[in-house]
Amino acid sequence: MTDSGEPTVECPHCGSQDTEQESAFGSEVSKSQYYCNGCHTVFERIKWEGKQPDE
């Protein structure tokens, strides 16, 4: 979890946690798009209400 209360999102390609949300919506309404500053890849993550499943 970041200082702003946002969950830390790990890049599925390189494992970096230096990611930022690119778009609130991805290819589906249930997904968000993120950008990895480590490997410069855009990836999608499923949105979850409440606690994240990996917490």
What's the pLDDT score for residue 22?
A: 92
What's the pLDDT score for residue 30?
A: 87
Query: What pTM, to 2 d.p., does this model score?
Result: 0.73
What's the pLDDT score for residue 14?
A: 97
What's the pLDDT score for residue 26?
A: 85
Q: In what order do the strands lie in the sheet with 42-46?
A: 19-23, 31-36, 42-46
22: β partners: none
What's the pLDDT score for residue 53?
A: 59
Q: Which residue stretches of the chain have pLDDT < 70? A: 1-6, 49-55
